[in-house]
Structure 1
Amino acid sequence: MNYFKLFQLNQELKIDKKKLKKNFYILQKKYHPDLNLKKKIKKKDQLLISIKINQGYNILKNKFSRANHLLDINKKKNFYKKNNITKNKDILIEKFNLYEEIQKIKKKPNQLIKIKNFIKKIKKKKNLLFLKFNKKIKEKKIEKANKILFHISFIYKILNKAKNFKKKLK
């Protein structure tokens, strides 16, 4: 199912979140079994439609899952979304280096300042990767967009690890 069409949004990484929310409520008002008292649609079918609306809303409100959905709706018939890790050694090496950087920060004074700067650096990298992803999707270069999304998934993991370390410092 194409959730962009369901919520009447442009098929792009950047979306109008106010329109998404507005259309979510309109659709739920129309199909939610507790809100729709008209008997034109069976209650069971209303529930299934309502569940799909919730799934679509949750996918589109999150940038990473929205990017994944863009890949899904743009993929070719024989395209396999998961990347082969061995083909992405450069990404793995970067991941290990970033994990190593977190470990080094743990051994230094002024850890809180250093981890905050590290998090800023990783967020910038994530934003740049999303820009590259968006460009490749617009160019219909799905395999390259997939590789970038694979890279972004590692960046999210590193970012979470750094944020968890920051929480422990506070």
Structure 2
Amino acid sequence: MTSQPAALHELMITRRIAASPETVYRVWTERLGEWWAPRPYTTPMVELDLRPGGRGLIVMRSPDGTDMPTEGVFLEIEPNRKIVFTNAFATGWIPQDPFMVVIVTFEPEGAATRYTARVRHWDEATLRRHEAMGFHEGWSIVAGQLADLAEGLPAATAA
């Protein structure tokens, strides 16, 4: 796992996951509620309309019961290879306080996957705020939780 800035106003994590891109993508899209929040946080609500312009709603819940909803839209979906989304818009392209654009890629690396999450911010202040919120630790933890689920699936389910 590496964690480093990659471009202006961008934070990034990457991890090699010992599962096919198809398996990692399927766990990302179908089991997001099981890995999205760093434990002991949970994700009690996930609504994903996986198409450009489709809505994404994810609610994380803290151990004290506080819900933290994030709504946005998908900008690009390339099954088994790439997911791009932003919280700059709510459903129907309604502008809201922008925080980030996320570009997730699933690249074949031998029999494994190079999972990369690039998070782009509008300015330096927003990037620094995300870092202070624990970006590197939190996104690395959830990439590990994603890997644990994907690597635990039998290879035959990767089709």
**Shared fold per TM-score greater than 0.5:** no
Query: Whose strand proportion is higher, 1 or 2?
Result: 2
TM-score, normalised with respect to structure 2 = 0.26
Which has more radius of gyration?
1
The one of the two structures with greater contact order (alpha-carbon pairs below 8 A, sep at least 6) is 2
